[in-house]
Amino acid sequence: MRILVTGSAGFIGSAITDALREAGHDPTPFDIRTDPSHDIRDREAVEDALHGVDAVCHQAAKVGLGKDFDDAPAYTEVNAGGTANLLAAMAAKGVRRLALAGSMVVYGEGRYTCAAHGVVRPGPRRPEDLAAGRFEPPCPHCDTPLTAGLVAEDAPTDPRSVYAVTKLTQEHLATVWARDTGSTAVSLRYHNVYGPGLPRDTLYAGVAALFLSALLRGEAPRVFEDGAQRRDFVHVRDVAAANLRALEAPLEPGALTAYNTGSGEVRTVGEMAVALAFARGGPDPVVTGEYRLGDVRHITADSRRLKEDLGWRPEVDFISGMSELAAKEDG
């Protein structure tokens, strides 16, 4: 297949491009960073790029949580507006298959169970609790501690940043496009993606990049809260393989299917900092107790649907992946 890859020069997009080529496909790159004319918001440029294309792998996006609400127009213009432009162009050009870069951020907090009230949805954590070092979200009904579990695709969505809202908007737009055009759409809801090529020294690249940057400077990684935040760290090659499966699989047209894309290994932020520090031979992490309002406490994936429907299996385990990441980043 000839596959247009938007955001092809990015961390994930470049890994997908390599995987597609290795599998015998013909990836067509589209990224404003390598060609200023490749703007996802430019309808003419997108339609030109779609000529002769069989499918689209849409990775282009403005990423990260943003600094404040003043960033809302930029996120909305690129992520929501750019996706709407792409889908309209695909409808016009008769391209009927889409793999979309989704995100775990659409869920807000993960899955929690209260001993008295069953599955509950805690709201945003209170500033006074965070300031006092009470990091675990309490039951919204009885204020008692909760047990964190895996979140599945049928969990209610609860986006808690402008970026998260735009990622959910992308899914809604793709759902309408698939229904109206009889097309196939898959949203791969990425969890915490890491691996060689991860951008450094930016909040937009995630906490792994910040820890690694500190170690490369000879400094101790600074771990917020108590380091016990649960996450699912998934290697970029496994994410690329999931996109390949989504583009090749025989799926029913006329709808969007969402798939959690995680490793299945529940780890903490503190464990990740320790693994990177050990692999680099650097200073031990420092747990600071600092926090950021709006951060979620626990979010880990149940990726069984992706495994069962598409036959995907993650291949890179946590320790091996972190060791590879640390070894590749030598300056």
Enumerate domains of the chain plus CATH numbers. 2-111+149-326 (3.40.50.720)
pLDDT at 295: 87
Q: What is the C-alpha separation between 209 and 203, in angstroms, rounded?
A: 8
pLDDT, tens digit, 9 for 90 and up, residues 152-202: 999 999 998 899 999 999 999 999 999 999 999 999 999 999 998 888 654
CB 135 within 8 A of CB 126: no
- Helix 269-280 to helix 207-216 angle (10° resolution) is 30
Give the length of the chain: 331
Query: Per DSSP, what are the bridge partners of residue 257?
Result: 186
pLDDT at 155: 94
Residue 119: which H helix or E strand, with range? Answer: strand 118-120
pLDDT at 204: 46
Query: Per DSSP, what are the bridge partners of residue 114?
Result: 118
pLDDT, tens digit, 9 for 90 and up, residues 55-83: 999 999 988 655 678 889 999 999 999 99
Q: What is the C-alpha separation between 215 and 284, in angstroms, rounded?
A: 9
Tokens of 183: 């097309």
Q: Look at residue 331 and tell me whether its pLDDT is greater than 50.
A: no
Query: Which whole-number Å values give the CA distances from 162 to 75, 155, 186, in the listed order?
Result: 7, 20, 22
Q: What is the C-alpha separation between 182 and 254, in angstroms, rounded?
A: 4
